[in-house]
Amino acid sequence: PRRILSGIQASGALHLGNYLGALKRFTALQDSGAPCFLFVADMHAITVWQEPEKLAAQTREIAAAYLASGLDPAKSVIFPQSAVRAHAELAWIFNCVARLGWLDRMTQFKEKSGKHKERASVGLYTYPVLQAADILLYKATEVPVGEDQKQHLELTRDIAAKFNNDFGVPGFFPLPDPLIQGPATRVMSLRDGQAKMSKSDPSDMSRINLTDDADAIAGKIRKSKTDMGVMPAPDEALDDRPEVKNLIAIYAALSDQSREQVTAEFAGQGFGAFKPKLAELAVSSLAPVTAEMRRLMNDPAEIDRVLKSGAERAAEIADPVVDEVKRIVGFWRA
């Protein structure tokens, strides 16, 4: 049976990349009929420092974003990762299945740990193993994510295959398929066409946050990096114009058009003409989502009800799976 699962870290304000690469697509998948599990990854968030007094609010904010973008708690299970103990239990067992050599290849760790990898938390290093546990606990078959998660999904498949093989339980864990689709699977920073738009980027000007107001969005787009040229023709290759390519991709994704349609409309115009149009589109697309998020955040009781009931429903699926894994591994039980 199909089962869809994805998560977003409670590591700060959501941005346009999260919206286009993840959130916007969950709602469409929810209506495909397969059960959906969407969690708030608070255990992943603490792989880098999070202020304890802010973490719960950040968790509620991601839950609010799920609800505001159209997820229905009657159809989808929405829950905080840390509220289901089985995630940590299975992650430990998977730490003993995964090989150091596999983790050494993970590019996200290299990017996030920067120049001083000896100062990164051990959690940041083993993060993809916890992610494998998140997915396989629910025996998920499809995982909608942005392009940046492709390598981690491959690791999840490797862990599933090695577990099934080492313990002689063929097919126990399904090998999940990443769903990396749509026109904006990798939205880039507004300041640097080579870097992914990220919550953890120290520059707030690099991203459009879901909580930004219209003026902030317009200002960030006006100041976004471009080049000396004008808007390209539809047949122009944009590999050496990554910032321009990114703005066009954002416009296409927000307006549900192809890149060709967008370039055909703006070819030859200056950025001074294009950027205000893009800002207008971004504001009108995000406004309903952010307004609903704000409404929900004003009454945390509603969000807390969703998260509590989601955690109970998630544990009903996850607990028997981790119990079975402990039996397969050979742990003592009475």
- Positions annotated as catalytic residues are 112, 196, 199
Is 6 annotated as belonging to a binding site?
Answer: no
CA distance 147 to 248: 18
CA distance 319 to 164: 19
Pick from 8, 130, 153, 322 the residue near ligand ATP by CB under 6 A.
Answer: 8
Residue 147 sits at φ, ψ, to 5 deg, of: -55, -35
Is residue 178 part of the contact set for ligand ATP (CB under 6 A)?
no
Pick from 121, 200, 261, 269 the residue near ligand ATP by CB under 6 A.
Answer: 200
Is 197 annotated as belonging to a binding site?
Answer: yes
Is 9 annotated as belonging to a binding site?
Answer: yes
Residue pair 172/161 in contact (Cβ under 8 Å)? The answer is no
Is 275 annotated as belonging to a binding site?
Answer: no
Would you say 139 or 186 has its CB closer to ligand ATP? 186
Pick from 88, 120, 123, 148 the residue near ligand ATP by CB under 6 A.
Answer: 148
Is residue 11 part of the contact set for ligand ATP (CB under 6 A)?
yes
Residue pair 281/254 in contact (Cβ under 8 Å)? The answer is yes
User: Hey, which residues between 86 and 145 contact ligand ATP (CB under 6 A)?
Assistant: 145
Give burial (CB, 10 Å; 0-12/13-18/19+) of 290: buried
- The C-alpha angle 208, 190, 150, rounded to 5 degrees, equals 85
Question: How is 151-178 classified by DSSP, letter by letter?
Answer: HHHHHHHHHHHHHHHHTT-TTSS--PEE
Is residue 21 part of the contact set for ligand ATP (CB under 6 A)?
yes
Alpha helices by DSSP H, listed for 31-51, are: 42-45
Is residue 183 part of the contact set for ligand ATP (CB under 6 A)?
no
Would you say 144 or 163 has its CB closer to ligand ATP? 144
Would you say 146 or 232 has its CB closer to ligand ATP? 146
Is 189 annotated as belonging to a binding site?
Answer: no
CA distance 297 to 60: 7
- The C-alpha angle 195, 159, 121, rounded to 5 degrees, equals 50
Residue pair 8/49 in contact (Cβ under 8 Å)? The answer is no
Is 196 annotated as belonging to a binding site?
Answer: yes
Q: Give me the least distance between CB of 225 and ligand ATP, in Å please.
A: 15
Q: Give me the least distance between CB of 14 and ligand ATP, in Å please.
A: 8
Q: Which residues sit in the known binding site for ATP?
A: 9-11, 17-18, 146-148, 187, 196-200
Q: Which residues sit in the known binding site?
A: 9-11, 17-18, 134, 146-148, 187, 196-200
> Which residues in this chain contact ligand ATP in the complex, by CB under 6 A?
8-9, 11, 17-18, 21-22, 145-146, 148-149, 185-187, 196-200
Q: Which residues sit in the known binding site for L-tryptophan?
A: 134
